A and B are shown apart, each in its own frame.
Chain A
Amino acid sequence: MAGLILEPTSQAQWQALVHEAQSACDRHLDETLESYLVFLLMRFADKPQCTARIMAADYLNSQVLLGEQRADKLRDVGDHCLLFSGLFPQLAERRLVRISYFVNIGRASYRQLSDGLDRGWSSVYSHLSEAFIVLVDILHAMRELGGMAALTPLQAMDFWQQTGSRRCYQQVCAGGRSIPAAIATEKH
């Protein structure tokens, strides 16, 4: 981290942190996605217990709901999956799943949400689904601002192979001398 973040409000502090993470990983969000991420982080900053949630059960439960209840549940699942895969990737290892497991559930949730909403909000969630990996890359960069790697080299390799994450590709290139040629041409 470059230094202390001395912003007057909590929102401004999170925004400064998101900006710093974007610069650190050279990935940039448009204003809508940046605001969504800032408010998401603000909302969950005081809810560490959210990591106990079981996303598979929540996703399947959302399928039996209708209307606004369904939309709320899908949004909640998408948001949690984004946080799990970006801020708490070690959670996947503890639950014996890949990080991309949360990515797939999160993207599907946002995509379904966008299909069932009016045009204005629909485009936001569609955009979130498409830019999910960019958001995860930024959250990984945010974790690394403190000086600790978000992913081990093996996790980075796996995540890159599963999702095509540009940041993980760079981490793999920086950490090793060779990338399997067949894989390197397929992804990224």
Chain B
Amino acid sequence: MSTTVVDARNLLCPLPVIRTQDAVVKLQPGDAVQVLCTDPGVVYDIPAWCRVHGHEVCDINEQEYEIAISIRVGESGS
């Protein structure tokens, strides 16, 4: 099991979702992904994308300028 960090800072939605998708495709079920973002829209977009594709959002950590979203890759793996 590994943790992959996706740097999507300074990208506007839906580019953080696209970067996350690109990373998740290469991972195995159960792997962890941490997505670093600055666009506040990701708080809605990434959990919605995870729900549709069967991934689990473990944590959303909102700092002043940065948002870190932790995801566990689901069985579909895409």
Contacts and interface: CB of A to CB of B under 8 A. Distances in A.
B18 A60 contact: no
Interface in A94-108: 97, 101, 104-105, 108
Interface residues of A, number: 11
A104 to B, nearest CB: 6
A63 interface: yes
Contact of B15 (A63, A64, A101, A112): A101
B28 to A, nearest CB: 18
Interface in B1-46: 12-15, 17-18, 21-22, 45
A32 to B, nearest CB: 25
Contacts of A112: 21
Nearest to A108: B18
Contacts of B52: 63-64
Interface of B: 12-15, 17-18, 21-22, 45, 48-49, 52-53
Interface of A: 56, 59-60, 63-64, 97, 101, 104-105, 108, 112
